Amino acid sequence: MAPAPSETPGRRGFRAGWVFAAIWLFYLGGNLGALVRHPPGMWRTVGLLALALFALTYILLVATMRRPRDVPGGYPGPELRVWLGLLTLLALALLQLPAAGESILTCAVYISAAAVMGLPLRHGLGVAVTVAIAVEAAIRFVPGWRASSQGYALAVVLAAAATWGMRLAFERQGRLIQAQNELAELAVADERSRIAGDLHDILGHSLTVVAVKAELAQRLLDVDLDRARAELRDLESLARDALADVRATALNMRGISLPGEIAAARAALAAANVEARLPGAADDVPTRNRELFAWTIREAVTNIVRHSRARHAEVRLSPDSVEIVDDGQGGDPAPGGGQGLAGLRRRADELGAHLIAGSRQNEPGFRVRVEVPS
């Protein structure tokens, strides 16, 4: 008989709440039977009308208990509304008394369950205890009720206990949903930070070079027109490459960029206490080679951090090749699946590039080199 909060705010949640509440109204059949058996008259009519309003009020009260009060994002609505609803239920139950007699004690179970579910827990339990005491007192002191009304007080206590358990379950579910939402927000924030970092890596150096080359070209216009044209061509190529990297990062979201991988390699090697020599820029690398070179740096640096036990590493970058060497223990690292050397070799083959991976000649350590035909 315990009410349940609706699943989601709005129309769907309201519908789910009143359907759940209506299921338990069959226990009011005893009240209905007692009223129907009562001789026709004013109190019978008042009792039947009060019973119908009691059922309607209970459904509306439970259906509006959408959120738990004790956790953010929980139920119910304002506390005053719940108190007014409980007082209305009590008044409608008492209006049935002249015609229904002790059968109105069934209403106490509904009032107790609604109080425990809708009010702050301390107040709800207090109402349930008060109702149980009142029911037990009525059974003992109202003439003619003791023999036929045994068990109502116990039913009130059991309904309150069951509702309490359901409420705790709903509150735990609310906390879980809240935690999931917070994790989702953190994931979004992390993703935004990652994209912002990639864009910074891509644009930071490129825009600086663009500014320098534009200034140089402007100065050369009156001195060396051919060199000024060459600088402008380089400027155009650099701008197009930077734009391609930005598009890959912004549209693919999980795209990989060469400047970003150089920056990531610097951070990873520093974290592994590996002294690294890395290129300061990737402006000379054509757009068609950048993704492959970025994957090469990522895989080679990953192997250095995981397997090599190296103390020094170097990334050598040119327009047609990238080479990563270290002074570690050498030997082939463990296969890495799709993102390992096998996957890297497949990527190189797709572009007609040549991959060399193995121990360095005459020096300790491991070498990964990718060459792209000119």
Query: Within this chain, do residues 77 and 195 fall inside the same structural domain, yes or no?
Result: no
> Within its chain, how far is the Cα of 359 from the centroid?
45
Our separate counts of H helices and E strands in the chain read: 12, 5
Calculate mean pLDDT across residues 108-127: 85
Mean pLDDT along residues 172-185: 81
The answer to the question of residue 5 being in a domain is no
* Enclosing domain of residue 345: 258-371
Of 131, 152, 183, the one marking the end of a domain is: 183
**Do 158 and 216 reside in the same domain of the chain?**
no
Query: Number of structural domains, the chain?
Result: 3
User: Pick from 165, 183, 201: which residue ends a domain?
Assistant: 183
* 129 against 153, higher pLDDT: 129
Q: How far apart are CA 290 and CA 259, in angstroms?
A: 9
Please check whether residue 304 lies inside any domain of the structure: yes
**Same domain? 16 vs 157:** yes
**pTM (whole model) above 0.85:** no
| Higher pLDDT among residues 59 and 10, named by residue | 59
SS3 content of the chain, % helix, strand, coil (to 5): 70, 5, 25
pLDDT in the model for residue 337:
41
Asked whether residue 303 falls in the same domain as residue 237, the answer is no
Is residue 179 located within the same domain as residue 92? yes
Say whether both 145 and 268 belong to one domain.
no
Q: Indicate whether 51 belongs to any domain.
A: yes
4 within domain boundaries: no
Q: Residue type for 93, please?
A: A
**217 and 167 in one domain?**
no
Per DSSP, 304 falls in state I
Q: Is the pLDDT of residue 22 over 90?
A: no
* Segment (H or E) for 320: none
* pLDDT value at 366 more than 60: yes
- Are 248 and 262 in the same domain? no
Q: Which stretch of 36-40, 42-46, 68-72, 213-217 has the lowest confidence by average pLDDT? A: 68-72
Residue 178 lies in a domain: yes
Given a contact cutoff of 8 angstroms between Cβ atoms, the answer to whether 339 and 267 are in contact is: no
Which domain CATH number covers 320? 3.30.565.10
Residue 2 lies in a domain: no
Whether residues 154 and 90 fall in one domain: yes
Residue 229 lies inside a defined structural domain of this protein: yes
**pLDDT over 80 (residue 284):** yes
What would the pLDDT profile of 75-104 be if each residue is shown by its tens digit? Answer: 445 788 888 988 999 999 889 888 888 888
Say yes or no: 354 and 316 in one domain: yes
Residue 269: inside a domain, yes or no? Answer: yes
Kindly report the number of other CB atoms within 10 A of residue 322's CB atom.
Answer: 28
Claim to verify: residue 31 and residue 179 sit in the same structural domain? yes
pLDDT above 90 for 29? no
